[in-house]
Structure 1
Amino acid sequence: MSDLATTQSLLGELIALPTVSSDSNLEMIVLLANRLGDMGADVEIHADETGTKANLLARIGPDEPGGIMLSGHTDVVPVTDQDWTTDPFVMHEAEGRLFGRGTCDMKGFIAAAVAMAPRLASADLRRPVTFAFTHDEEVGCLGARNLSEILRDRETRPSLAIIGEPTEMRIIEGHKGCCEYTTRFTGLEGHGSRPELGINAVEYAVRYVTRLMNLRERLRHRAPPGSAFEPPWSTINIGRLSGGHAHNVIPGLAEVDWEVRPVQDADRAFVRSEIDAYVAKTLLPEMRRTHPDAEVILQVVGEIVGLEPMEDNAARDLVARLTGANGTDLVSFGTEAGLFQEIGMSAVICGPGSIAQAHKPDEYIEVSQLAACLDMLDRLVDQITLAA
């Protein structure tokens, strides 16, 4: 069976496992662990605190520092209320396309990587190759965050990471972060005719939003020189402000949903430091002078670290040699790459399929894209194999 046929067969098995982020991914992790373990890989399964989700680390080659990590997430987005032509969890082929939930985002890359494992296992590798398959990327890169903490403390961690998100095999060297928050305000309800006796949670939420809008303007002046992002600076968006239920009642509760899209992680830290200080030094003391139980609580929905374009990027340079590409791009969607960059690894994004097909009904990947990915991985094996 050719590598392409093996990839398609394995992809069909993976699509049949509905690893929606709200559900367990353990069946897929065990399947991949067994497949790689049978090839002689050193396999580790790292479960989360619930025991229903897990990351997989599998190494082929010498147990030493450096080497290359092939990374992908196992979870997919829901199909609820989507109008699919066929069963989203039964892969089918039509006109050179493979349809099914997760075909391009991103089980296609995982299948291609694992299909190449027998070649790696039989080769005399100069450097190790690590497979890293994570949980819960779609809801905040939760698995990759746990995995990066494990790798951070390892002397033998890989030095390069190729994240196989769907880029149509283009080389992506950067993307903004995506940090989402909900801030909840608890004040004190009362009659609207005596506002001095209550704590108006909506008013404090509005002041909070006003401060965020001020920070948004300050971020424009923090844009890194030569930033290629559009816009070149970090941004803040206010997604929702809600609270109150009647004209004549002082609202006791309010919520603000907001996000930061940082072009550099220092901007995320800047915004968090500034807004947290404003709450601690100004808003809360004012609220608690009237009502000691007043609260302002920030919930971190997800903090996806951006991938910052670097002048020196060994992973980018390697993939350029493997694909023959002579240019790179930036993307607007978030990935796990920044978490690996954060712990000192060189990271690049390059994988089969188009992001335009991700998350949609009748998601598909072109068979030709899988073939192109296999060609890249085949050249990777040649690159890291000892000469006879």
Structure 2
Amino acid sequence: MDVAELCRDLVRIRSENPPGDTREVAEAIQCRLAGIGIDSVAVSRDGHRCNLIVRHANPALLLCGHLDVVPAIPEGWTHHPYAADEADGYIWGRGSADMKGGCAALITAMEASIDAGIEAPVSMVFVCDEETGGCYGMEYLLAKKVLRPCDTLIAEPTPPLSPCIGQKGLARISFSFSGEPGHSSLYPAIGKSAIMEAFDLISFLQEVHGRHYPVDGEMEAMIEQSSAVLESVFGISGLDHVLRRVMFNPGVIRGGEKANIVAERCDLDLDLRIPWGCTSGEIVSEIASRAPSAEMRVTAASDPSCTPHSATITRRICEGIREVHAREPLPIFQWAASDARHLRSAGFPTVEYGPGEVTSIHGIDERVSLESLRQAERTYCKLIQSYAPVKPE
């Protein structure tokens, strides 16, 4: 079974998160690994969200993927999101890019390496809940200390020449605002609107978004380089601010009781991405000071992070890209977040690199090209080989 066929098989196994049940896809991968002589163990915190681990006694390289995908409804898709149709040089479907294509390429690269007699000290992990933060997946495994720190590659989709060596920080915050109800005809003279309290906080976040956070020269150069790649990938100019500013999204807002009642309750869920030059703690504290009467719960927080250009994992993935593509790699910082933040904070030098159309992830018509799958597989083979002990002649 080649990488494309394996990718199609994995996409057909539904593992939407929520609800996050990854047992079936983990079992399929476990059977595939067993067929090439690789033992793995399933680890679960709740019996449904299943992680799969391949342990090496003394690993030099950890290969990572996630098994969960964001939900999809079939309306609007060119191909059904779980049919895994192959057409026009792509495999179409939810999770094809993010990131069952990457998982498939990791597995077939390991298979090719074993067939070639390469014995590299490699561990593997396929986690269950990257899309919802990691408390059942990577965070849980790191807390249980079932993974040993070593160089790490996550097969998240990236541009073909651009491994991701850094990411913005992240903060997710839930608020519950309380108001004083009254007749709408008397507001704002009488009554206090919980909805307007939330609106005032969102207005403040617009001010925060407008700030510029200075960084040193090396970081500035990386941000410029990454911004150019971002603009090229999305075909949109003027995206330089994405990596330099606090980006925020009021993703969920629920409030009010009736149009003619001053709102007594309003709930707001925020997602913020934190640039270099500040910390998530600074931003969260400042936001808290602007909503002193609200109930506030921080559900996730991490600072911007990066792996140095000089790190072994960075150099070796770049060498693999250079050999496969015959072009010079261009490492970047990423505008989104992944399990890399958990791994770096736990002492794992981490880089992301994988197949998939970056512009299609989490969207309608998500897809991965057959060419990118095969190029990723070859790049992973070269990376695995680079960690194998040199045999005496």
What range describes the TM-score normalised by the shorter chain of this pair? Answer: 0.7 to 0.9
2:309/2:315 contact within 8 Å kept: no
2:158/2:358 contact within 8 Å kept: yes
Tell me if 1:97 matches 2:78. no
Q: 1:242 to 1:43 in 2, by over 3 A?
A: closer
Name the CA distance, whole Å, in 1 between partners of 2:81 and 2:187: 57
Q: Which residue number corresponds to residue 149 of structure 1? A: 143
Deviates more, 1:169-178 or 1:339-348: 169-178
Alignment of 1:1-388 (within 5 A): 5-23=1-19, 24-49=21-46, 51-59=47-55, 61=56, 63-64=57-58, 66-121=59-114, 123=117, 125=119, 128-142=121-135, 143-150=137-144, 153=145, 157-170=148-161, 171-191=163-183, 199-209=192-202, 211-213=204-206, 215-216=208-209, 220-221=212-213, 223=215, 226-227=219-220, 228=223, 230-231=240-241, 233-237=244-248, 239=250, 243-244=255-256, 249-264=261-276, 267-277=279-289, 279=291, 283-284=292-293, 296-300=294-298, 303=301, 306-308=304-306, 310-324=308-322, 325-386=328-389, 387=391
Q: 1:93 to 1:248 in 2, by over 3 A?
A: closer
Q: 1:208 to 1:352 in 2, by over 3 A?
A: closer
Tell me which amino acid in the other structure corresponds to 1:115: T
Tell me which amino acid in the other structure corresponds to 1:273: S
Name the CA distance, whole Å, in 1 between partners of 2:381 and 2:295: 50
1:242/1:254 contact within 8 Å kept: yes
Tell me which amino acid in the other structure corresponds to 1:99: W
Name the CA distance, whole Å, in 2 between partners of 1:385 and 1:319: 14
Name the CA distance, whole Å, in 2 between partners of 1:207 and 1:358: 32
What is the total number of aligned residue pairs between the two structures?
361
Deviation at 1:157, TM superposition (A): 1.0
2:257/2:264 contact within 8 Å kept: no
1:306/1:337 contact within 8 Å kept: no
Tell me which amino acid in the other structure corresponds to 2:150: S
Deviation at 1:235, TM superposition (A): 0.8
Name the CA distance, whole Å, in 2 between partners of 1:319 and 1:107: 20
* Fraction of identical pairs, as percent: 22
Q: 1:209 to 1:68 in 2, by over 3 A?
A: same
1:234/1:267 contact within 8 Å kept: no
Deviation at 1:73, TM superposition (A): 1.3
Name the CA distance, whole Å, in 2 between partners of 1:106 and 1:35: 17
1:159/1:346 contact within 8 Å kept: yes
CA RMSD of aligned residues (A): 3.2
Deviation at 1:351, TM superposition (A): 0.8
Deviates more, 1:346-355 or 1:374-383: 374-383
2:118/2:385 contact within 8 Å kept: no
1:140/1:303 contact within 8 Å kept: no
Structure 1 gaps, min length 5? 285-295
Structure 2 gaps, min length 5? 228-239, 323-327
2:110/2:381 contact within 8 Å kept: no
Tell me which amino acid in the other structure corresponds to 2:28: L
Name the CA distance, whole Å, in 1 between partners of 2:103 and 2:179: 49
Name the CA distance, whole Å, in 1 between partners of 2:187 and 2:87: 68
2:78/2:365 contact within 8 Å kept: yes
Q: 1:9 to 1:236 in 2, by over 3 A?
A: closer
Tell me which amino acid in the other structure corresponds to 1:31: A
Could you say what secondary structure the match of 1:255 adopts?
strand
2:8/2:91 contact within 8 Å kept: no
TM-score by length of 1: 0.79
Q: 1:246 to 1:158 in 2, by over 3 A?
A: closer
Could you say what secondary structure the match of 1:71 adopts?
strand
Tell me which amino acid in the other structure corresponds to 2:264: G
Name the CA distance, whole Å, in 1 between partners of 2:199 and 2:29: 49
